Chain A
Amino acid sequence: MEWMEIISALALGMFIVVMLPAARNMVQNSPKGSSSDWVSFVVPIVMIMLFVILLIELV
């Protein structure tokens, strides 16, 4: 199935190229978050990671 891997890599590469300008625009125009903003993002993400570990335990 080597051709499938090559097509996957090409598709992902194309996706990266297409997304690059939008990413650059978002990086330049995103407002800066305060430390409390980042905490309010990190806390739920840590909870999600703990939840995934719980799911792994359940398998």
Chain B
Amino acid sequence: MNENLSTIARGSSSALATNKVLRNTYMLLSLTLLFSGLTAALSMLLKMPPMTYLISVIGGMVIAMFVLPRFANSTAGIGIVFLITGLLGFGLGPMLTMYASLPNGGNVIMLAFGGTGVIFMGLSAYALATKKDFSFLGGFLMVGFLLVLVAAVANIFMQIPAMSLMISAVVIMIMSGFILYDTSRIIHGGETNYVLATIGLYMTIFNIFISLLQILGIMGNDD
């Protein structure tokens, strides 16, 4: 009997811990997205040059890969997450300025923004409602992402617009898979650090937004 009670207690404490990670992740994610929006607006106001995007993304990725893991278990980790997301948001400024100057550009930006929100919320709700374990996707998504990166490197030199569209579409599919994978990892206790969970989900949202912007930007100016 005592053993049963302790098993139930252990189960409920693990569920509580999972809910806490989930709640903290979504709270930090909301704040970082808001902060990114502010830094993107600042970058647009300052009329930053196009190279800002490249510098910000490289800087953000280097900090995310090499600095954040060392501080993920301390409060400094939260500051680093804001630094990364602020940097990535700042890098978005010149890109948004460029799209806004296109005919129908405002519409493209709003659709990409709204579309990203719908995709993220829809997939998160799906993973949370079904409670399905998507851990089997890990290897598949990682290999798919690496192949897309190789294709992206090739297309930097080949400059084929159709390939660029194809890469953006595949990135949306892979990032959608990562939303399911990351959310399921939090639900099933595979990710207990909300700082790392936040940066993972933020990156998926960032990539979906950029890819949607590219697809809608190209298709919207096809007339």
- A residues near B122, Cβ cutoff 8 Å: 44, 47-48
Residues of A within 8 Å of B112, CB to CB, are 55
| Nearest CB in chain B: distance from A57 CB, A | 9
B156 proximity list for chain A (CB < 8 A): 5, 8-9, 12
Interface residue from A37, A55, A56 paired with B132 (Cβ < 8 Å): A37
Asked if A41 contacts B177 (CB within 8 A), the reply is yes
Known A11-B58, A27-B142, A44-B126; judge A55-B177 contact (CB<8 A): no
Query: Interface segment, B18-26, B79-87, B147-155?
Result: B147-155
Contact across chains for A33 and B137 when beta carbons are under 8 A apart: yes
A16, A23, A52 pick with most chain B CB within 10 angstroms: A52
Known: A11-B58, A27-B143. A59 touches B104 (CB 8 A): yes
How far is it, in angstroms, between the C-alpha of A15 and the C-alpha of B96 when the chains are bound? 25
Q: How far is the CB of A3 from chain B (nearest CB, A)?
A: 9
Contact assessment for A27 and B153 in the assembled complex, using a CB-CB cutoff below 8 Å:
no
Within the complex, the shortest CB–CB distance from A35 to chain B, in Å, comes to 11
Q: A7 contacts which chain B residues (CB < 8 A)?
A: 54, 58
Q: Which residues in window 95-115 of B have CB below 8 A to A?
A: 104, 107-108, 111-112, 115
Supposing A8-B54, A52-B169, A52-B212 touch, asked if A30 and B138 sit within 8 A by C-beta, the answer is yes
B180 and A41 contacting across the interface, CB-CB below 8 Å: yes
Residue tally, chain A, CB below 8 Å to B = 38
Question: Is A31 in contact with B136, judged by CB distance below 8 angstroms?
Answer: yes
Instruction: Judge whether A23 and B173 touch: CB under 8 Å.
Output: no
The answer to whether B139 touches A30, judged by C-beta atoms less than 8 angstroms apart, is yes
Chain B residues, Cβ within 8 Å of A30: 135-140
Whether B220 lies near A59 (C-beta < 8 A) is yes
Instruction: Check A12–B149 contact: CB distance below 8 A.
Output: yes
Q: A12-B153, A48-B172 given. 9 additional CB < 8 A pairs?
A: A19-B145, A22-B142, A30-B136, A41-B137, A52-B115, A56-B216, A56-B219, A59-B108, A59-B220
* Interface positions of B (Cβ within 8 A of A): 50-51, 54, 57-58, 61, 65, 104, 107-108, 111-112, 115, 118-119, 122-123, 126, 130, 132, 134-140, 142-143, 145-146, 149-150, 152-153, 156-157, 169, 172-173, 176-177, 180, 212, 215-216, 219-220
In the assembled complex, 7 residue pairs joining A and B whose CB atoms fall closer than 8 Å, in A order, are: A12-B152, A15-B61, A23-B145, A45-B173, A47-B122, A48-B173, A55-B112
